[in-house]
């Protein structure tokens, strides 16, 4: 029995090795642009007339090498398992070996990705792009406080002129003066209330006429004033819902409509959309806010694929808790990132990752929240509550963690979060 099982395992290992070789053949046949099949098929809906335009097989280009490496490693593991079976090894040893190999591969992949995206820039070896080469001007919405203010100052520090867009004219003028004084760059201010409808964007278009815009940061957003709160417990729900959807979703779509065409025409530019971890999973007691962020994630990533051959980068950030007026939390070591520190680290990821947490600390927290389950989340948020003295946040986390696990069939079963961004 044991010898037969060992023989079967070794055959499986050989099959995996053969499959890895077939993946090489598939990669060279399907993905290399200079290799064509003998008979080219008729144009399909995916044929956009551009040899590097989006195609369903493009996502395989990155997954095939990794899949091949995983298969080869598992082939080695299975070969050793066959030897152990011949020597009388137990099924538990085999199971433990497979589990250990699987988790080690996942950890190695995560660490390598974190090093590439977040680690190398900290030692001056980042693979990001030059922001100054994208254009002379940067446009930042919600630029008078929090993450938006930090983006405006950091982009000016890195050599770009800045257009600040927000609703409070006095704050806009103050920040513009600070940027000109501290960084020596030109500024413009545009006063609009993003909770308004389509009519406000005529003012924005007039204010941006004639500018060589290289960077757009869609940062403006609103969150519920009371947390936790059920959807229909919101006061003046009709107006509140419309304002949030206009501010969090319509603003991003319309600002992209206004600025993206000139970026495509020049073949360069960066659009940064500030979303939230709330958009990565169902968010009880933040239902509408989380849904608007999920829309941002989906829209941003889809448009990034549509225009990636044009030279325009569209990045989506999904931070957790950042110290800002929206979160009402002071920066706390290892728990809450200051907006200035977050933005400095996030800008270094432009051109390296188009869908990212924004900083290493948040990538660690995100991994823990996604994999640690509700009990781990409760412990983490208790630490935040103790350090910040926020019983409201503790109650919010408790309700989220006890309700999320009831969402049957969801990949995020058992998760909870405290993300406000």
Nearest in space to 272 (alpha carbons), one of 78, 175, 134: 134
Are 115 and 137 contained in the same domain? no
CA atoms of 184 and 193, how far apart (whole Å): 28
Question: Sign of the C-alpha dihedral, residues 358, 361, 365, 371?
Answer: positive
How many domains are there within the chain? 2
pLDDT of residue 109: 81
Which range marks the domain in which residue 75 is found?
Answer: 2-37+47-122
The pLDDT value given to residue 284: 84
Give the pLDDT score at 421: 37
Secondary structure class of 141 (helix, strand, coil):
strand
**Best CA proximity match to 133, nearest among 268, 259, 304, 311:** 268
CATH number at residue 192: 3.40.50.720
Query: How far are the Cα atoms of 93, 322, 339, 358, 402 from residue 346, in angstroms, in the given order?
Result: 43, 12, 10, 4, 32
Longest dimension (CA), the chain: 82
In a domain, 184, yes or no: yes
Distance CA 58, CA 395 (A): 44
Both 117 and 143 in one domain: the answer is no
Note whether residue 127 is domain-resident.
no
For residue 110, the model assigns a pLDDT of: 76
Residue 90 β-bridge partners: none
Boundary residue ending a domain (58, 91, 122): 122
Residue 190's closest CA among 262, 257, 255, 265? 255
pLDDT of residue 44: 40
Residues 219, 74 share a domain? no
Position 206 in a domain: yes
What per-residue confidence (pLDDT) applies to 39? Answer: 42
Question: Does residue 9 sit in the same domain as residue 112?
Answer: yes
Are 63 and 198 in a shared domain?
A: no
* Alpha-carbon gap, residue 175 to 160, rounded angstroms: 15
**Same domain membership, residue 142 and residue 11:** no
Q: Are 7 and 82 in contact (CB under 8 A)?
A: yes
DSSP 320: -
137-141 vs 161-166, strand pairing mode: parallel
Residues 118 and 136 in one domain: no
Query: Of the listed 118, 289, 307, 369, which one is catalytic?
Result: 289
- Given this model, what pLDDT does residue 305 score? 96
Show which of 330, 349, 370 is a domain's final residue. Answer: 370
Strand order in the sheet with 355-356: 187-191, 161-166, 137-141, 213-218, 269-274, 312-317, 355-356
**Cβ atoms 312, 297 nearer than 8 A:** no
- Going from the first residue of the chain to its last (421 residues), give the mean pLDDT of each consecutive group of 10, the final group possibly shorter: 49 52 46 40 40 37 50 58 56 75 80 78 77 96 94 97 97 97 97 95 96 97 82 91 96 98 97 92 88 97 96 94 67 74 93 89 74 53 51 48 43 33 37
Q: What angle do CA 298, 302, 308 make, to 5 degrees?
A: 145
Instruction: Round to whole Å and give the CA distance between 388 and 390.
Output: 5
In terms of domains, do 27 and 163 share one? no
Does residue 141 contact residue 255 with C-beta atoms inside 8 Å?
yes
Could you give the CA distance from residue 370 to residue 265 in angstroms, rounded to a whole number?
A: 40
Asked if residue 394 belongs to a domain, the reply is no
Instruction: Let me know if 307 is a catalytic residue.
Output: no
What CA–CA distances, in Å, run from 163 to 75, 191, 211, 276, 334? 56, 11, 10, 24, 33
Measured CA distances, 78 to 7, 99, 108 (Å): 10, 12, 20
Q: Same domain, yes or no, for 197 and 271?
A: yes
């Amino acid at each position: 029995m044991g010898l037969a099982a060992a023989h079967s395992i070794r055959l499986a290992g050989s099959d995996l090795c053969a499959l890895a070789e077939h993946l090489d053949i598939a990669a060279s046949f399907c993905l290399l642009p200079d290799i064509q099949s003998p008979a080219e098929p008729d144009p399909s809906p995916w044929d956009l007339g551009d040899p590097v335009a989006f195609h369903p097989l493009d996502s395989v280009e990155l997954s095939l090498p990794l899949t091949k490496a995983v298969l080869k490693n598992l082939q080695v593991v299975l070969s050793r398992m066959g030897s152990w079976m011949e020597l009388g090894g137990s099924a538990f040893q085999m199971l433990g070996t497979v589990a250990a190999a699987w988790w080690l591969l996942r950890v190695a992949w995560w660490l390598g990705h974190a090093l590439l995206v977040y680690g190398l820039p900290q030692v001056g070896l980042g693979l990001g792009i030059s922001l100054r080469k994208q254009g002379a001007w940067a446009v930042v919405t919600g630029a008078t406080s929090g993450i938006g203010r930090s983006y405006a100052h950091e982009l000016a520090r890195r050599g770009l002129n800045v257009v600040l867009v927000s609703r409070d004219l006095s704050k806009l003028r103050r920040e513009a003066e600070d940027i000109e004084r501290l960084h020596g760059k030109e500024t413009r201010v545009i006063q609009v209330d993003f909770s308004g409808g389509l009519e406000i964007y005529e003012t924005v278009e007039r204010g941006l006429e004639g500018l060589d815009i290289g960077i757009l940061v869609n940062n403006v957003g609103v969150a519920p004033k009371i947390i936790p709160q059920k959807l229909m417990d919101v006061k003046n729900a009709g107006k509140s819902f419309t304002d949030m959807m206009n501010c969090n979703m319509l603003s991003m779509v319309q600002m992209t409509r206004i600025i993206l065409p000139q970026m495509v025409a020049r073949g360069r530019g960066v659009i940064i959309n500030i979303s939230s971890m709330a958009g990565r999973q169902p968010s009880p007691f933040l239902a509408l806010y989380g849904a608007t962020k999920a829309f941002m994630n989906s829209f941003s990533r889809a448009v990034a694929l549509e225009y990636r051959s044009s030279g325009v980068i569209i990045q989506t950030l999904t931070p957790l808790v950042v110290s800002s007026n929206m979160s009402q939390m002071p920066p706390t070591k290892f728990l809450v990132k200051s907006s200035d520190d977050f933005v400095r680290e996030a800008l270094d990821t432009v051109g390296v990752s188009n869908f990212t947490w924004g900083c290493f600390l948040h990538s660690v927290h995100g991994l823990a929240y996604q994999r640690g389950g509700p009990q781990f989340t409760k412990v983490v948020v208790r630490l935040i509550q103790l350090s910040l003295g926020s019983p409201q946040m503790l109650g919010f986390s408790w309700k989220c963690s006890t309700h999320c696990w009831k969402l049957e069939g969801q990949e995020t079963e058992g998760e909870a979060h405290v993300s406000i961004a």
